[in-house]
Amino acid sequence: MLKHRLFALCLCLGCAGSVHALPLDATPVPGGIAVIRLPDDIDTGSLRYNGRKVLVTQEDDADYAVIGLSLGTKPGRYQLQGKTAAGKSLSLAFSVEAKQYEEQRITITDKRKVNPEQRDLKRIGREKQQIDAALEHWSDRDRVVTDFQLPVEGPTSSPFGLRRFFNDQPRNPHSGLDIAADEGTPIRAPAPGTIIETGDFFFNGNTVLIDHGQGLVTMYCHMSAIDVQPGTTVATGDIIGKVGMTGRVTGPHLHWGVSLNDARIDPTLLLPPVQETAGAPHKH
């Protein structure tokens, strides 16, 4: 549930009602979440942000839209589109503010993982389509658990949003959270869901993706072992595999990604404050 993390912003948005955000960031930012209280007469199934359905949850008899904001989101005003129960169109406005993320420079000894050879590109393209299809997946679920547990205990070796350089070559910002742990450490599902995809991928190594419902999908990479299969239903705390160092890595760790309406967001936003990982430096 979102109750203990909702933070009301004093914004007047006309028919939108009040916008709420998580206290980690007082306002929605790139890589963050916008939480919008919905009017009583809205058709929640009609809601769209950037043409995609959005997660809707209930708290104290009120409905809230929970919108993932990609790292590429520019500061400014945005609209959540929908309809009333009577079929009247409406737009619910919210604002996104800028956020600056740090840089990280990494040396990769396997240069093929930095600049793939021609023979690798077809595989990489095929795997990208496979992963993208899982991250875009939507499944209807009445109640989506948004209070996550850490999938593995350990220090943060690379936080979300880092502007990364591999062998001094710029790459896309870090779209997940890296948690350092010993190889073979069990990885546990942070919330209930269904295994939607598994595989051994060029960059990500052994990978599992979990569908938690309503566009909320989590991804686990670089595993040494996968203990689940697509279609398996998991509960919070169930073991899905083990920490490893497969794919593009410099040491054992778990890359944990969270996608909401196909936007990669900071996984710590779904953790209780006491479970946010420590930021101590650690080789990843």
Backbone angles phi, psi at 269, to 5 degrees: -65, -20
Structure confidence at residue 17 (pLDDT): 35
Q: What is the DSSP letter of 254?
A: E
Distance CA 69, CA 32 (A): 5
Q: Which tokens belong to 69?
A: 């904001």
pLDDT score of 22: 36
**Mean pLDDT (whole number) for 186-206:** 96
Q: What is the pLDDT of residues 6-49, one digit of tens each?
A: 433 323 233 333 333 333 334 699 999 999 999 999 999 999 99
Q: With beta carbons less than 8 A apart as the criterion, state whether 54 and 67 touch.
A: yes
What are the domain boundaries of the chain? Answer: 3-96, 103-275
Q: Which of 281, 232, 254, 277 is nearest to 24 (CA)?
A: 277
CB atoms within 10 A of CB 142: 7
The pLDDT assigned to 27 comes to 64
- Is pLDDT larger for residue 168 or for residue 171? 171
Cα 197–269–59 angle (5° rounding)?
95
Q: Which CATH superfamily groups domain 3-96?
A: Peptidoglycan hydrolase domains (2.60.40.1590)
Cα–Cα dist 217/259, whole Å: 5
Across the range 160-181, mean pLDDT stands at 73
Fold of the domain built from segment(s) 103-275: Glucose Permease (Domain IIA) (2.70.70)
Average pLDDT over residues 117-135: 90
Q: How confident is the model at residue 280 (pLDDT cuts 50, 70, 90)?
A: very low
Contacts of range 272-278, beta carbons closer than 8 Å, 24 or more positions apart: 272/4, 272/147, 275/149, 275/150, 277/150, 277/154, 277/155, 277/156, 277/177, 277/179, 278/155, 278/156
Instruction: Give the total residue count for the chain.
Output: 284
Question: How many CB atoms sit inside 10 A of residue 32's CB?
Answer: 27
Q: Choose between 161 and 105: higher pLDDT.
A: 161
Residue 180 to residue 173: CA distance in whole angstroms = 19
Burial readout 204-215 (b: 16 or more C-beta within 10 A, e: otherwise):
bbbbbbbbbbbb
For 214-266, the pLDDT digits (tens) are 999 999 999 999 999 999 999 999 999 999 999 988 889 999 999 999 999 99
The Cα-based distances of 208 to 64, 68, 148, 242, 249 in angstroms read 29, 21, 17, 11, 17
What pTM, to 2 d.p., does this model score?
0.83
